[in-house]
């Protein structure tokens, strides 16, 4: 018998399902309702995927603003159902991918269920990742994306001789905003500021693959091209 740890709980979906299916039916989504119902009653993964594909087609049937909100909720519902199968079978990475698509493309009605499911699946995926590596994260050899150190001398060598102008440019370490405004902005003098971001965790963590895998892992990130 499946335990609470083996399944993704969806309390909002469980209570709202009849109403959502009725509203989808009113919009002509008979095939979707049939597949979604079969997925639940027969524990049918293929039916859940079919319902997801049907909702996906509706989301792309025209301009985004013209898509009826109920179809966005229908897509969220299908994503939750598909993710349940993946989660139960231990494929937490794929479960997260589906849940993220529900968050990105779905409606707001089931957002709470999606958020809680993502949190639970992320925790499981992180635990599995640690087991696969076979060592504790504190003992893990740091993996970096870029290994080469920045060679300042080489950069200065290839710059044109007068590219920095002939003026004397001051250099200040950890210059405060007040000092920058008073000493340089008001007088119009150039300055090279160093060490202002040394305390930022991102200055080192951006290049640490282990850290990025820990905080992002299997998550799907939307990228908008303008």
* Alpha-carbon dihedral angle through residues 82, 87, 92, 93, given to the nearest 10 degrees: -10
Q: Is residue 124 part of a domain?
A: yes
Which pLDDT score, from 0 to 100, does residue 164 have? 57
Q: Is residue 82 part of a domain?
A: yes
Which pLDDT score, from 0 to 100, does residue 137 have? 47
Q: Is residue 191 part of a domain?
A: no
How far is Cα 31 from Cα 24, in angstroms, rounded to an integer?
A: 10
How far is Cα 37 from Cα 191, in angstroms, rounded to an integer?
A: 67
pLDDT in tens, the chain (226 residues): 456 567 899 999 999 999 999 999 999 999 999 999 999 999 999 999 999 999 999 999 888 889 999 999 999 999 999 999 999 999 999 999 999 999 999 999 999 999 999 999 988 888 877 666 554 444 445 555 555 566 777 766 765 555 555 567 888 998 888 998 988 888 777 888 888 888 888 888 877 877 777 777 778 877 777 6
Q: Is residue 13 part of a domain?
A: yes
Residue of 213, 7, 222, 224 whose CA lies nearest to 100: 222
Q: How many distinct structural domains can be found in the chain?
A: 1
Q: Is residue 79 part of a domain?
A: yes
In terms of residue numbers, what domain contains 131? 4-136
CA distances, 188 to each of 170, 174, 175, 177, 182 (Å): 12, 19, 16, 15, 10
How far is Cα 121 from Cα 90, in angstroms, rounded to an integer?
A: 10
Neighbours of 92 (CB within 10 A): 23
Sorted by sequence, the CB contacts under 8 Å of residue 218 that are 6+ apart come out as 92, 93, 96, 97, 122, 125
């Amino acid at each position: 018998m499946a335990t609470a740890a083996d399944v993704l709980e969806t309390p909002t979906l469980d209570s709202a399902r009849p109403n959502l299916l009725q509203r989808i039916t009113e919009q002509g989504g008979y095939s979707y309702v049939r597949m979604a119902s079969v997925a639940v009653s027969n524990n049918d993964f293929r039916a859940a995927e079919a319902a997801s594909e049907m909702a996906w087609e509706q989301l792309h049937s025209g301009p985004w603003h013209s898509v009826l909100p109920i179809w966005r909720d229908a897509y969220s519902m299908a994503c939750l159902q598909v993710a349940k199968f993946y989660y139960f079978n231990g494929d937490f990475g794929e479960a997260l991918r589906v849940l993220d698509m529900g968050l990105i493309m779905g409606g707001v009605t089931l957002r709470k269920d999606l958020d809680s499911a993502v949190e639970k699946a992320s925790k499981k995926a992180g635990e599995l990742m640690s087991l696969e590596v076979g060592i504790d994260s504190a003992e893990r050899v740091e993996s970096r994306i870029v290994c080469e150190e920045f060679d300042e001398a080489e950069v200065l060598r290839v710059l044109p001789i007068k590219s920095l102008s002939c003026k004397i440019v001051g250099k200040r370490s950890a210059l405060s905003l007040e000092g920058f405004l008073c000493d340089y902005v008001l007088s119009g003098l150039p300055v090279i500021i160093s060490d202002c971001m040394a305390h930022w965790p991102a200055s080192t963590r951006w290049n640490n693959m282990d850290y990025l895998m820990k905080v992002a892992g299997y998550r799907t990130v939307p990228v908008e091209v303008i």
